[in-house]
């Protein structure tokens, strides 16, 4: 049975993680001390390392940086929900700059966290994570969104020095674009769940999976309806992430999309 190392001192978080993953993974808990963590990593070669940033963000970022520079093991940062307290631009960027492959907001929805971590743990066995810094050029993000305000908002949030963004406002126009051989194939597709009729976003996702040209492109769902069941359904359908509206955290959005693009690039390299 694979192992997960959890670097955390919050008993509630630890208990939640054990309840969520205990049937699938061996859970090793460590205090935030790099020597202790390194010993566990050397002994068990875990599938994933979870690090709670906690109140001592600086020290724990140093731990993430040390782990990611030493081991080819994905590290996930855990932190309070980003909209629950003040975060400077530096804090929001810092865990990804330190080398973390993703961040999980606590308290977390169990099924969503489970699906994401199992996905990451499974590909970590076949992915060279040392290639995560490979130059990807400027990836193309395709956005299916029919709300003008949301289109403007996400365009402002995404760094145009990192991404190129194109969009369509209907499923029909999106299909036309994606099947056009003269158009660039996107590196990642973002879908508004409620585009037009209620289930159109889901139907569009199923259509993408039926197209050989498109089926391997990472899909991110977006919605203003933020609940555990909705997230879990999106992840279980095969989406790599669920991003809630409004897009108020520009750095966080950039880093989440960069994370999925890094994984995709590593998988096909």
pLDDT per position as a tens digit, 185-209: 999 999 988 887 656 888 899 999 9
Do residues 153 and 239 share a domain? yes
Last residue of a domain, one of 126, 160, 188: 126
pLDDT in tens, 107-160: 666 666 666 676 666 655 555 544 443 445 688 999 999 888 888 878 777 777
Domains: count for the chain: 2
pLDDT score for 105: 72
Do residues 108 and 159 share a domain? no
Instruction: Find the CATH number of the domain harbouring 114.
Output: 3.40.50.2300
Q: How far apart, in whole angstroms, are the C-alpha atoms of residue 25 and residue 47?
A: 9
In our burial notation (b when 16+ CB lie closer than 10 A, e otherwise), range 59-93 reads: ebbebbbebbeebebbbbbbbeeeeeeebeeebbb
Last residue of a domain, one of 96, 126, 156: 126
Where in the sequence is the domain holding 39, given as residue range(s)? 3-126
pLDDT in tens, 70-111: 988 888 888 776 554 444 445 556 776 787 877 777 766 666
Token pair in block for residue 186? 């996107």
Nearest one of 129, 138, 159, 139 to 263, comparing CA atoms: 129
DSSP-based three-state secondary structure for 235: helix
pLDDT in tens, 39-57: 999 999 998 899 988 777 7
Do residues 88 and 13 share a domain? yes
Do residues 117 and 160 share a domain? no
- Distance (Å) of CA 144 to CA 157, 174, 218, 238: 16, 7, 14, 17
Q: How far apart, in whole angstroms, are the C-alpha atoms of residue 166 and residue 155?
A: 9
Do residues 94 and 183 share a domain? no
**Regarding predicted confidence, which is higher, 218 or 227?**
218
pTM: 0.60
Please, what is the average pLDDT of the chain? 78
Q: How far apart, in whole angstroms, are the C-alpha atoms of residue 63 and residue 168?
A: 42
């Amino acid at each position: 049975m694979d192992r997960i190392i959890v670097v955390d001192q919050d008993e509630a978080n630890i208990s939640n993680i054990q309840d969520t993953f205990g049937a699938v993974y061996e859970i090793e808990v460590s205090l935030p001390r790099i020597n202790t963590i390194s010993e566990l990593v050397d002994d068990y070669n875990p599938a994933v390392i979870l690090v709670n940033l906690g109140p001592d963000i600086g020290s724990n970022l140093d731990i993430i940086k040390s782990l990611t520079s030493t081991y080819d093991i994905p590290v996930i940062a855990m932190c309070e929900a980003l909209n629950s307290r003040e975060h400077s631009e530096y804090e929001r960027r810092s865990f990804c700059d330190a080398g973390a492959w993703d961040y999980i907001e606590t308290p977390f929805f169990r099924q969503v966290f489970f699906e994401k971590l199992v996905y990451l743990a499974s590909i970590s066995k076949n992915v060279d994570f040392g290639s995560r810094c490979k130059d990807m050029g400027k990836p193309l993000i395709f956005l299916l969104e029919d709300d003008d305000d949301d289109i403007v908002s996400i365009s402002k949030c995404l760094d145009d020095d990192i991404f190129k963004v194109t969009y369509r406002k209907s499923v029909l126009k999106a299909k036309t674009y994606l099947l056009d051989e003269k158009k660039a194939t996107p590196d990642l597709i973002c879908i508004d769940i409620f585009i037009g009729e209620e289930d159109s976003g889901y139907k569009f996702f199923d259509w993408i999976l039926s197209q050989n040209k498109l089926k391997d492109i990472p899909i991110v769902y977006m919605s203003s309806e933020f609940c555990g069941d909705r997230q879990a359904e999106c992840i279980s359908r095969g989406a790599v992430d669920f991003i809630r509206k409004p897009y108020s955290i520009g750095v966080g959005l950039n880093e989440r999309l960069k994370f999925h693009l890094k994984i995709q690039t590593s998988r096909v390299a």
